[in-house]
Amino acid sequence: MLGGKNILLGITGGIAAYKTTFLVRLLIKAGANVKIVLTESASSFVSPLTLATLSKNPVLSSFVNEEGGATDWNNHVELGLWADLMIVAPATANTLSKMASGTCDNLLLACYLSAKCPVFFAPAMDLDMYKHPSSIASFKKLKSFGNIMILATSGELASGLHGEGRMAEPEDIVKFINGHLQKGLPLSGKKVLITAGPTYEAIDPVRFIGNHASGQMGYELANAAANLGAEVILVSGPSHFTVSHELITLRKVISAEEMYNEVHLHYEAIDVAICAAAVADYTPKTVATQKIKKKESEFSIELVKTKDILLSLGNQKKDQFLVGFALETENELENAKVKLKKKNLDAIVLNSLNDKGAGFGKPTNKITFIDKNSTITPFELKTKAEVAKDIFDEILKRYHA
């Protein structure tokens, strides 16, 4: 949710400011761009140098840079417009009161009043301060402006008391913001199942039958679905690609049989399923328990068909929106349409090995999206990340929860 987002972090003068080093690290790890504004008193609790090092941006605390000339100033309007979201953490009683009343006596408050983006605030103060009518009034007024409050938690406070007022932990702040951003996205609350990569069918302990699929298309589809708010289960055969999005759960498998079992374990609860894996059509009838020695000039392996995962999902389909992939080398459209109907799909994604830049092991793909009403939508050659977005754009035009 935070990948590529510009985040303006405002830090005020409370003991909980020390936690912001961990918060910045988590935001950067999530792929966000972070700029930081401190109030004057905040620098007593956390080092600007530490925050600058973690965020890879200068830390600002005043309107005019001390070492600069008369025109060397920190433009609060530009900062407010730059931000996709602003976080004030910790938000002290003093700063919250000023935010609520419109007081503007430091750079942080000027940035807040200039911000056009969602503003999150995480209060941090002692127990009696947190429950004081003036603080409660500030919370209420700030929320009426559209700001989002990240509730303080109970715990040991700096005063030695135990109760409400402790700033939410950095991990919980990031989780809260992710959850808020997820709401309202097209696939928020939906579960998406995606298969990716090849399968390896064992011949003996060291050899297998496989193919050249890298898994990249499936992994990009998983990222695209998660960015649309979906909870994603990615069932992947052997692949060097990894996942980092918190909404993606990766299930690693090796063989077609393992992929079949894993997919069916989740399918009943799924809203959208996309089978992008290059599953082996055949598997050795018997698997040697020891490495097969090279003896004869000729060697044959008896193969049997694997279970057709996509066909089985089509047969069991209830309300799921089911999408398959077809990699063809001849009679592409005709073969894809036959597969679409035979396997009871809602849509099929056709790629042809005859198209330059498409197919296995390449960072690009060229697809044609075909739905069950035989509407054909061709696309130009694009990166697989762009292709994944195109596929979900087409799905969203047709999928009705």
Q: Which position among 75, 94, 178, 211 bears the catalytic label?
A: 211
| Spatial CA neighbour of 288 closest among 203, 185, 399 | 203
User: What's the rounded Cα separation, in Å, for the pair 49 and 63?
Assistant: 18
106 carries an active-site annotation: no
The DSSP result for 227-282, as a single string, is HTT-EEEEEE-S-S-----TTEEEEE--SHHHHHHHHHHHGGG-SEEEE--B--SE
Close Cβ partners of 84 (under 8 Å, ≥ 6 residues apart): 5, 6, 7, 117
Distance CA 185, CA 52 (A): 33
The values of phi and psi at residue 303, to 5°, are -110, 150
Cis peptide before 90 (omega within 30 of 0): yes
Please give the C-alpha separations between residue 367 and each of 215, 228, 380, in angstroms, as whole numbers.
16, 21, 7
Catalytic residue ranges: 211
